[in-house]
Structure 1
Amino acid sequence: MFSNDPQTPHRVLCYFLDPKIQSELGYVQFPQRFRGINKSDIYAYENKQLFEIHPRGMDGVLGPHYEGTGCFFSRRVFFGAPSKFLPPENPQLGPNNVVDKPIQSPKVLELAHHVAACNYEKNSNWGSKIGVRYGSLVEDYFTGYRLQCEGWKTIFCNPDKPAFYGDSPITLIDVLNQTKRWVIGLLEVCLSKYSPITFGIKSMGPLMGLAYCQYAFWPIWSIPITTYAFLPQLALLNGLTIFPKVSEPWFLLYVFVFLGAYGEDLLDFYSIGVTFQKWWSDQRMWLINGLSSFLFGATEFFSKSFGIATLGFNVTSKVLDEDQSKRQGSMEFGIPSPLFVPLTTAAIVNLAAFAWGHVEVFRGRNGLEGLLMQMFIAGFGIVNCIPIYEGIIRSDKGKIPTKITLVSTFLAFALYAAAYVTLRN
């Protein structure tokens, strides 16, 4: 990240020097903005829900979560709750210490080297009771959450001119790996003694507790997303209807839920001036993450919990090479990652189910009235999977590797065969 507006510190001081809020103000958070985003933001890396829409809502209660960058802290916030001060082991590192020696003096340089080496953290309260809180891969989320649980209030500042800019990932695998790391870190908080659903609601109240819960329970979304990506389609391939017919009253409930959820999400994006193209990319990436990052992140976390695997920290690459710069606007796959397997499998199953549904209707075995909902879900899946189909047929370095396509095709047939045997029995 880098500064984009030299007036930003002045704007922040207007909050920190306000006597009405000064004693309880922990930090001022600016939304993350990124360079290198095309007009459709194909990877939805602007994360408008996470970085702008949700913080606006939280700003009306105790304030936004800490986003990891673009944030100004009060030094006092790292030393306990507003009403309770935990003095540092080294008084020279305290929030009220004033350095009265030149910056080049030996004592100041010695202290600077001591802090830079991080030795001051050893056998101290830093990381547990004060300072940046450790114990999770999402240390930013965990730190802001713990600070607000202590009683600190925060402010969301979103000026017209972006205060900061950063670089965005340029391949799909980078985005998925980063989201997977977030998921693992969120589960570490969610299933600890500091879980937002218990500790958070008790400390901050139900509104802020639930606001943090909706992040902490991201991995759970992999269950309904995976279910809707495969179950209706496999039933359709086997000629089984599982949804109400168009003429039945329950059909209207499904229509209401779908239109209500997507309509509300679209209005949220329009309220902050985001185009339809970027909203579509965001909801598509939500489904892609549900089938990959959420699913693999949860699996990796629970495997590690049972001693089967260890966590890995994948650094996100944000370097754009010459070939990739020519292909901007298309999803970059390139490597045979297991994260691509469920995406490609879902694309194949949805396409096959949509085509077979038309065959069933034309043959008259099942009327369109009974299959409409399942055909709509399969069709909706196809529209969301267009970048996957493009990745399969492409011939450049950014294509989905042939190995992934073959494995996914085999899994699609295996799922169909398993569903066939199950339904016939």
Structure 2
Amino acid sequence: MNTLLSAMALDYPPEKLHVYVSDDGGSPLTLNAMREALKFARWWLPFCIRYRVKCRCPKAYFSASENDDGDDLAGSMEFLADKKMIKEKYDAFKEDIERVKEDRGNSGDTTGIMGQNHPPIIEVIQENNSSEIEQLTLPFLAYVSREKKPSHPHHFKAGALNVLYRVSAVISNAPYILVLDCDMLCNAPASARQALCFHLDPKISPSLAFVQFPQKYHNISKNDIYDSQHRSAYKVLWQGMDGLKGPVLSGTGFYIKRESLYGNYKIKDTDLELQQYVGTSNELIKSLKQNYTPDSVTVGHTLPQEETLLLASCNYETGTKWGKEVGFLYGTVCEDVHTGFILNCNGWNSVLCDPPQPQFLGNGTTNLNDLLIQGTRWYSGLLDIGLSRFCPLICGPLRMSLLQSLCYAQLTYFPLYCLPLWCLAIVPQLCLVNGVPLYPKVSDPFFFIFVFILLSAFTKHLVEVLSTGGTLRKWNVEQRIWMIRSITSHSYGCLDAVLKKFGLREASFLPTNKVEDDEQTRLYQMDKYDFRTSNMFLVPMVALLTINICCFIGGIYRVLSVGDWDKMFIQLFLPAYVIVVNYPIIEGLVIRKDVGRIYPSLPLVLTCNILATTITATLYSQLRKV
């Protein structure tokens, strides 16, 4: 609800601000919480406006230091009294929500709507004004839960966004839409005005589809051991693409022009053609007209109930272009990248807006399990795009600049980095054990070519990190996380995408946990990795590290015995580098005793023992031949 309250408190005329909350689960708890949030908003919004509060998320505001008020009125007795009163109201608001949760849990209430099977529910949240509350126009607030049936594809987040898109068109039809995830909050109230500076600029507005704010996080530690802030994407790739046709659509924190998502609807001459394009809703077709204002806006938000329920039904999109040419596009769980790419192909541009004060803040990943689950989903979705008919290397150069196409290609094919890394993590090491040199001798002039390539790659990455405000330790963290992701989430993401391509697996969306765990947070702030994750992820990590340790020890023994260090120098360096960079895995497996360590489960022990025995036997047989 903090996300909702911060969005309602944006610095924008409240009568022009319409807030829609999508609840795919159809939970009565969410609906009741929204009603309670509206009651608290009647106190919170006047306080924010009167004292020009900078951070308008109540949770973040009351957990910050008093110095963050930063206003001339902050020290006045009136302000302090009002702040204390609002804090009491906020505490009561939280208690009311918790009480509703407990009451439903204790009563064993089973009347709640099942998350995957329920009819559409759309309700305008309203509350009678109280005489003790300052009279204030509040933003329009609506609860939207689309119809869901187990037998009907719901298209994940893209499907939910398209329902919001249609429902909002017949209720308010605002020309610009802000999309926010449930774990993001409005950190500053000026984002709407900043975005409109671009959208209303006559020079760029006709072709501008969306203004993207970078994703930033409030819970990132100093060393960011999981690379949760995605520095290489938001501070390097997005900045570079901003100089071309604009950055990638990034899922949350963007203001998009409604017209851009309607595709080529303007070429449809008759209502019949429009019905085949956007569906049978007459109100939705009316909303396509320029400057059209729905009756619900002009007469005080009277909800067109029958029309909105139709738009939120499962069957509405059947026989239309929704998800194909209209709205957010289907076919991948990375609907944001897919939609942004097609918008660029259709001639639309985008803009990156990155003011000094972050406008939106979210919860960054603070444990390895969420990092790898989230990564597997992302990389599978990205490769889905690369393997589809919308391949950036084929579809892109015909409809946009070559550089922009290469940026999208680098993003969609990024998971394929797992293939060379697997080879680099196994082949040279096994050849080292078997005495097979793969690289030139140290005395060979070609040796310096390999050294130059290796140092160039390291230096390029280091310069990028340092130039974007990072440190040498940050560079080391990114190297480690890149290796971990490549052998786990990249690999599983590639496998998932290929299986889906051959029809052997259905698309799935496993959301990560949005609730912070105190123990996970404590380990994260101590820069200790939390290895409480599936063996599916632990086995390749530990197995490859075991291979490199055994091969390094065997290689050292061989070099000392045979004296061919000049032939094997690079092959000795590679496992040594892998071991040093991934020392935290060794620490979690051998040294640490806390809850975040790697527990020696049966599959993990068996796999590592088999690998160690095989490598040791191979090494022994090779050394006997020497």
Normalising by structure 1, what TM-score? Answer: 0.92
Shift of 1:35: 2.2
Whether 1:382 and 2:579 are equivalent positions in the alignment is yes
Shift of 1:415: 5.7
Counterpart selection for 1:177 from 373, 382, 385: 373
CA contact (8 A) 1:180 1:293 kept: yes
Shift of 1:108: 4.4
* Aligned mates of 2:382, 2:253 — CA distance in 1: 21
Whether 1:94 and 2:288 are equivalent positions in the alignment is yes
* Aligned mates of 1:138, 1:186 — CA distance in 2: 6
Whether 1:395 and 2:585 are equivalent positions in the alignment is no
Counterpart selection for 2:520 from 324, 338, 343: 324
RMSD: 2.6
Report 1:188-203 matches (<5 A).
188-203=384-399
The code of the aligned residue for 1:301 comes to A
Whether 1:29 and 2:227 are equivalent positions in the alignment is no
Shift of 1:159: 1.0
- Post-superposition CA distance 1:235-289 (Å, at most 9, x none): 2222332211111122111111111112112222222212332232122211111
1:26 counterpart SS class: strand
The code of the aligned residue for 1:297 comes to G
- Post-superposition CA distance 1:85-118 (Å, at most 9, x none): 8954422443733234447543445555555557
2:570 counterpart SS class: helix
CA contact (8 A) 1:80 1:129 kept: yes
Counterpart selection for 1:337 from 523, 530, 535: 535
CA contact (8 A) 1:169 1:317 kept: no
* Unpaired segments ≥5 residues, structure 2: 1-183
Whether 1:409 and 2:608 are equivalent positions in the alignment is yes
Shift of 1:331: 1.3
* Aligned mates of 1:359, 1:123 — CA distance in 2: 69
Report 1:352-363 matches (<5 A).
352-363=550-561
Q: Which moved more, 1:11-20 or 1:93-102?
A: 93-102
2:326 counterpart SS class: coil
* Unpaired segments ≥5 residues, structure 1: none
Shift of 1:349: 1.4
Report 1:92-171 matches (<5 A).
92-94=286-288, 96=290, 97-102=292-297, 104-108=300-304, 111-115=307-311, 120-171=316-367
Aligned counterpart, 2:490: 294
Whether 1:80 and 2:263 are equivalent positions in the alignment is yes
Report percent identity of matched pairs: 32
1:371 counterpart SS class: helix
- Post-superposition CA distance 1:50-106 (Å, at most 9, x none): 222101111111111101111110111111269868954422443733234447543
Whether 1:240 and 2:439 are equivalent positions in the alignment is no
Counterpart selection for 1:211 from 407, 416, 428: 407
CA contact (8 A) 2:418 2:486 kept: yes
Q: Which moved more, 1:265-274 or 1:290-299?
A: 265-274
2:398 counterpart SS class: helix
2:350 counterpart SS class: strand
* Aligned mates of 2:450, 2:509 — CA distance in 1: 40
Q: Which moved more, 1:102-111 or 1:351-360?
A: 102-111
CA contact (8 A) 1:136 1:189 kept: yes
Higher relative contact order (CA closer than 8 Å, sequence separation 6+): 1
* Aligned mates of 1:104, 1:418 — CA distance in 2: 80
Normalising by structure 2, what TM-score? Answer: 0.63
- Matched residue pairs, number? 423
The verdict on how the C-alpha distance between 1:95 and 1:57 changes in structure 2, with shifts beyond 3 A counting, is farther
The verdict on how the C-alpha distance between 1:2 and 1:395 changes in structure 2, with shifts beyond 3 A counting, is same
Q: Which moved more, 1:183-192 or 1:117-126?
A: 117-126
Counterpart selection for 2:510 from 290, 314, 318: 314
* Aligned mates of 1:415, 1:111 — CA distance in 2: 67
